[in-house]
C-alpha cells in the first residue's frame, strides 16, 4: 500500500476544480481545507474537519496551498552566459535572435555531463520555486548530434521535451539546406527523445512556409506541434498555429485583429511569457484584450539565457497582474491549469481526487500574495507526485 499524507489546516486551498469551489470563480477555492495524498495522486479534498487519517500529518497552519506550477515553455539545455547582452539591452541595445548563435557555440563545446548537471541545477531551482511540471526545448545544438543529445539530456528531467532544431539557421549553412536537415536527418535523430516539435517563426528565423513544412514533417514522425510566433514583429505565425489547430502558440506579443479572431475560433491557447518583455524592454502582450475576447491564456517562464533568464513562475504571475492587467486569479490559473492544457495534460494543474499530487504550500494566507509580494520567496513546501521535494 502506498503512503498517505494529509495536509490539514489549509486556510485557502486553490484546487482549480470549478465544481468544488464554494465561492464560484476560476480557482475552485476551499477554505479551512485538507487534502490527502496517496502515492503519487490526490485521494481526497475537503473541509479540514472531515479529513480522514493518514500515515503522515502536515499542518499548514492556516496558510495557502496551490497546485504546482506548470511551466510549459523553457529552453534549459544550454551552456554559457549572456549577461553582457542583457546589460547592453538595458542601456538601449535591442534584442535580436542573433544572440542564439552565441549560446549554440557554447552548448556544442560543453560535455554531456556539463549539460546534464546544468539542466539539473536549473530544474532544482524551478522546483524550489514551486514548478512541478516542466517542458524543456532543445534549440542550442542545431546539428544532428547536438540536437539529439540536447533532447536526451532534457528527457532525463521531463517527459515534455520539444525538438526546436528550427530555432535559427546556423551561420555555416543556407536556409534551404538547413530546413532539409531539420526535416530529415535531424528530425529522425531527435524524434525518439521528443514529444513536441517547435519552430521560431519570426523575421530573422523561419517564415510561415518553412514553419508549416517543419511542423508537417514533425507530425509525420509523431511529434505534436507548438510555435514561437509574433514575438518581435507582426506576422502570420499565430494564424498558422490556429489553422493547424495547435494546442498552444507562444509569445503572441504583436497581434493584429485577425490573429485574435483566429485564436478565438481555433481555441488555440496563447502562452504569454512576460519575463521576456521584462528582460528585453519590449511592450507586453495584451493579455486583457485576449481574455476579454475569449482567448485562453497560459503563462510560462521561457527560461533561456538570451531573452529571459528567470525560472520564477511567481515573477511571471506578478508581471502578468501588474503589467498585463490579468487578475491574480486569472494569472494563477494561467500558470497552473491552463499551462497543463497547453501541454495537452489534464492529470496536472488541478487538485482533485485522481489527479497528480503536485502541490505547493505558500508562506502566505492567500495565493494573491504571489503578485502582492513580488520578489519574495513564498514557497514553504513542494510535493511532487506525492513526495515532499522541498
Secondary structure E strands in the chain: 4-14, 29-38, 41-47, 56-59, 64-67, 69-71, 131-137, 160-166, 196-201, 224-229, 248-251, 269-272, 297-299, 359-362, 379-384, 387-388
| Shortest distance in whole angstroms from residue 162 CB to Fe ion | 10
Nearer to Fe ion, 71 or 302 (CB): 302
Q: How far is the CA of 189 from the CAs of 74, 185, 186, 215, 331, in angstroms?
A: 21, 6, 5, 16, 37
H or E element at residue 215: helix 208-220
Q: Which is nearer to ligand NIG, 30 or 100 (CB)?
A: 100
Q: Does 307 show up as a binding residue in the annotation?
A: yes
* Residue 231 binding ligand NIG, by CB under 6 A: yes
Interaction residues for ligand NIG, span 323-382 (CB under 6 A): none
φ and ψ of 33, to 5 deg: -110, 170
Known binding residue 369? Answer is: no
Query: What CA–CA distance (Å, rounded) separates 345 from 347?
Result: 6
Please work out the total of residues on this chain that contact ligand NIG, with binding judged by CB under 6 A.
Answer: 13
140 is in an annotated binding site: yes
The residue from 304, 311, 336, 384 that contacts ligand NIG (CB under 6 A) is 304
Residue from 86, 157, 200, 309 touching ligand NIG (CB under 6 A): that is 200
Category of 253 on φ-ψ map: left (φ > 0), alpha (ψ -120 to 50) or beta: alpha
Beta strands in 153-274 (DSSP E): 160-166, 196-201, 224-229, 248-251, 269-272
Which cell numbers hold the place of 135? 517542458
- Using rule CB under 6 A, residue 228 touches ligand NIG: yes
Question: Does 103 contact ligand NIG by CB under 6 A?
Answer: yes
Among 286-294, 299-307, 315-323, 350-358, the segment contacting ligand NIG (CB under 6 A): 299-307
DSSP 45-84: EEEGGGPPP-SEEEE-TT-EEEEPEEE--B-----S--HH
Q: Cβ 284 to Fe ion, closest distance in Å?
A: 16
Of ligand NIG, Fe ion, none, which one does residue 103 interact with (CB within 5 to 8 Å by kind)? ligand NIG
Number of residues that bind Fe ion (CB under 5 A): 1
- Nearest distance from C-beta of residue 302 to ligand NIG, angstroms: 5
Q: Closest CB to ligand NIG among 95 and 383?
A: 95
CA distances to 101, 181, 191, 268 from 185, in Å? 21, 6, 10, 30
> Residue 130 binds which entry of Fe ion, ligand NIG, none, with Cβ cut-offs from 5 to 8 Å by kind?
none
Question: Considering only residues 56-75, where is the footprint of ligand NIG by CB under 6 A?
Answer: 75
- Assess 307 for contact with ligand NIG (CB under 6 A): yes
Of the pair 6, 115, the CB lying nearest ligand NIG is at: 115
292, three cell numbers: 476579454
Question: Binding to ligand NIG by residue 305, rule CB under 6 A?
Answer: yes
Closest listed residue to residue 240, CA positions, set 265, 211, 220: 211
- Identify the residue among 100, 115, 199, 241 touching ligand NIG (CB under 6 A): 100
Return the residue nearest ligand NIG (CB atom). 306
* DSSP designation for 130: T
| Angle CA 217–164–106, to nearest 5 | 140
Among 12, 85, 259, 302, binds Fe ion (CB under 5 A): 302
For the bound state, the minimum distance from the C-beta of residue 159 to ligand NIG, rounded and expressed in Å, comes to 21
* Rounded Cα–Cα distance for residues 2 and 26 (Å): 32
**Could you list the residues that contact Fe ion (CB under 5 A)?**
302
**Could you list the residues that contact ligand NIG (CB under 6 A)?**
75, 99-100, 103, 200, 228, 231, 276, 302, 304-307
Binding-site residues, in ranges, read 73, 75, 82, 140, 167, 228, 231, 302, 304, 306-307
Amino acid at each position: 500500500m502506498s503512503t498517505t499524507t494529509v495536509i490539514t489546516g489549509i486556510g485557502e486551498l486553490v484546487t482549480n476544480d470549478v465544481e468544488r469551489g464554494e465561492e464560484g470563480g476560476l480557482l475552485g477555492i476551499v477554505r479551512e481545507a485538507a487534502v490527502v495524498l496517496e502515492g503519487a495522486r490526490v485521494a481526497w479534498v475537503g473541509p479540514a474537519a472531515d479529513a480522514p487519517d493518514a500515515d503522515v500529518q502536515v499542518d499548514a497552519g492556516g496558510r495557502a496551498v496551490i497546485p504546482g506550477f506548470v511551466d510549459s515553455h523553457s529552453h534549459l539545455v544550454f551552456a554559457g552566459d549572456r549577461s553582457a547582452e542583457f546589460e547592453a539591452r538595458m542601456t538601449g541595445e535591442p534584442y535580436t535572435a542573433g544572440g542564439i548563435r552565441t549560446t549554440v557555440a557554447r552548448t556544442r563545446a560543453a560535455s554531456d555531463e556539463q549539460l546534464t548537471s546544468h539542466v539539473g541545477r536549473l530544474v532544482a531551482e524551478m522546483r524550489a520555486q514551486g514548478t512541478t511540471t516542466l517542458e524543456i526545448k532543445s534549440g542550442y545544438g542545431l546539428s544532428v548530434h547536438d540536437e539529439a543529445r540536447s533532447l536526451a539530456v532534457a528527457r532525463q528531467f521531463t517527459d515534455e521535451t520539444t525538438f526546436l532544431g528550427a530555432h535559427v539557421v546556423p551561420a555555416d549553412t543556407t536556409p534551404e539546406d538547413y530546413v532539409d536537415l531539420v526535416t530529415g536527418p535531424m528530425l529522425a535523430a531527435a524524434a525518439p527523445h521528443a514529444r513536441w516539435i517547435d519552430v521560431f517563426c519570426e523575421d530573422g528565423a523561419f517564415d510561415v512556409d518553412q514553419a508549416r513544412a517543419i511542423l508537417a514533417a514533425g507530425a509525420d514522425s509523431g511529434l505534436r506541434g507548438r510555435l514561437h510566433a509574433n514575438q518581435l514583429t507582426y506576422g502570420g505565425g499565430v494564424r498558422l498555429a490556429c489553422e493547424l489547430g495547435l494546442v498552444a502558440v507562444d509569445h503572441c506579443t504583436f497581434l493584429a485583429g485577425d490573429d485574435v479572431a483566429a485564436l478565438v475560433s481555433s481555441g488555440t491557447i496563447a502562452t504569454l511569457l512576460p519575463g521576456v518583455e521584462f528582460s528585453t524592454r519590449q511592450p507586453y502582450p495584451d493579455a486583457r484584450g485576449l481574455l476579454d475576447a475569449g482567448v485562453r491564456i497560459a503563462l510560462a517562464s521561457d527560461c533561456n539565457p538570451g531573452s529571459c533568464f528567470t525560472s520564477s513562475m511567481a515573477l511571471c504571475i506578478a508581471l502578468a497582474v501588474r503589467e498585463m492587467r490579468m487578475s491574480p486569479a486569472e494569472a494563477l490559473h494561467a500558470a497552473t491549469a491552463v499551462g497543463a492544457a497547453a501541454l495537452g495534460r489534464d492529470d496536472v494543474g488541478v487538485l482533485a481526487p485522481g489527479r497528480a499530487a503536485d502541490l505547493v504550500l505558500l508562506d502566505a494566507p492567500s495565493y494573491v500574495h504571489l503578485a502582492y509580494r513580488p520578489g519574495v520567496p513564498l514557497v514553504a513546501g513542494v510535493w511532487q507526485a506525492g513526495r515532499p521535494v522541498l
